[in-house]
Amino acid sequence: MILSFAICIMALALELGAVLLLLRKSLWREYPFFSAYAVWLLAANSAIFAADVWSRSPDVSPGLYPSVYWHIDSIDIVLRLLVIWEVFRQTFPRKSGLNRSFSKGLGIVALALLTFACATLWGYQNYTSLRSIHLALDRSFGFVQAIMILGTLAMARYYGVRYGRNIRGIAIAFGGWASISTANSAMVDLTNSFRPFGDYLRPLSFVLMLACWIWALWVYAPNPPIPESEGEDLARWAEEWNRTVSAARTMIRP
């Protein structure tokens, strides 16, 4: 109980620190989608903490805290897409050739992955408890989100796109935490014997992610601009990507 309380306080302190860094250094102007998610985390986890404290009163229903926790955490699963979109838009700026080439194709891939997550979740429609539904939601969408963020990092590495400290720290920390959270939800739902470990593994990995975000945001270090000298290479990559997308469309709709 004491350890859980300490983890909660630590998470709130780190969330507040991240928001203050975004405000003090005006980084929210550069990373608006990530900033919106950071503010959401602080507000949501503050509400969860307040519900936990309030539920200890004998006059309050014991089901208050679980209800608040699972509902907020389920909303959080969807809002994590803000972080993924921020990483993508910073990795492939709007005016770059890579963005013009990738945006449509990756939109199709993202839609396919989200459809897969929804289809997977549909198999758990017979779950009756809110906790079980959330674990299924976290497992399905968490897996897809981890693939999205790690796929973006892999493509950036393949095409030689360099990361600055800010986005690199945000992306790697988020991808690692999403992977751990997905695996944790799968193990907890699979066997109750893992639950004592899972109850601490996910929060501790979340705190580690927040600490990495604090480190990443400590100084303003955006992604280096793509040199104009790479224009010919980008054009070639764009042409190859368009050919790949056209080939995929031909296979799907012969």
- The CB-side HSE value for 217 (13 A sphere, CA atoms) comes to 29
Task: State the first-to-last Cα distance of the chain, in angstroms, to the nearest integer.
Answer: 60
CA distance 66 to 187: 20
* Average pLDDT of every residue of the chain: 78
Q: What is the pLDDT of residue 86?
A: 95
Check if the beta carbon of residue 136 is closer than 8 Å to that of residue 53: no
Q: Which fold has domain 2-252?
A: Rhopdopsin 7-helix transmembrane proteins (1.20.1070)
Which residues have a Cβ under 8 Å from the Cβ of 84 and sit 6 or more positions away?
Answer: 145, 148, 149, 152, 174
CA distance 181 to 240: 35
CA distance 231 to 162: 15
pLDDT-based confidence at 159, cuts 50/70/90?
confident
Q: What is the pLDDT of residue 150?
A: 87
**Three-state secondary structure along 97-127?**
HHHHHHHHHHHHHHHHHHHHHHHHHHCCCCC
pLDDT-based confidence at 111, cuts 50/70/90?
low
| Residue 37 scores a pLDDT above 90 | yes
Closest CA to 78 of 36, 49, 47: 36
State mean pLDDT over 170-187. 87
Q: What is the pLDDT of residue 147?
A: 85
Check if the beta carbon of residue 223 is closer than 8 Å to that of residue 162: yes
Using N-to-C axis directions, what is the helix angle for 32-54 and 64-79, rounded to 10°? 170
CA distance 183 to 6: 24
Give buried/exposed letters for 234-252 (b at 16+ CB in 10 A, else e).
Answer: beebbeebeeebeeeeeee
| Residue 97 scores a pLDDT above 80 | no
The rounded Cα 40 to chain-centroid distance in angstroms is 13
Write the single-letter amino acid at 107. G
Q: What is the pLDDT of residue 227?
A: 63
- Percentage of the chain exceeding pLDDT 70: 67
Q: What is the pLDDT of residue 225?
A: 81
